[in-house]
Amino acid sequence: MSETVKSPSQLRLLLAQFMFAHNIDVESLYKAMGADLASSDNEAISHMAGIIDGITLATTKIRAHGLDNWTKG
């Protein structure tokens, strides 16, 4: 069996689906990972914020339109 490599966007979608399925809040995830934004690099924080915004948007759309139709809403 060959392993398929996921693209970054596919990985973000999988993470969003997982977080939705397990009712994980993004801010709670940050806290659980021990992220200290005060001492982090500004560029890294900006990049992570963009990723988290995308995950948050995807989970919101999944809740509103369902897993199969979330991209249509």
pLDDT tens digits, 30-39: 778 787 767 7
pTM given for the model: 0.50
The 3-state secondary structure of the chain, one letter per residue? CCCCCCCHHHHHHHHHHHHHHCCCCHHHHHHHHCCCHHHCCHHHHHHHHHHHHHHHHHHHHHHHHCCCCHHHC
Kindly tell me if the per-residue pLDDT of 51 is higher than 60: yes
The average pLDDT across 42-48 equals 77
Q: What is the mean pLDDT of residues 17-35?
A: 79
Confidence of residue 73 (pLDDT cuts 50, 70, 90): low
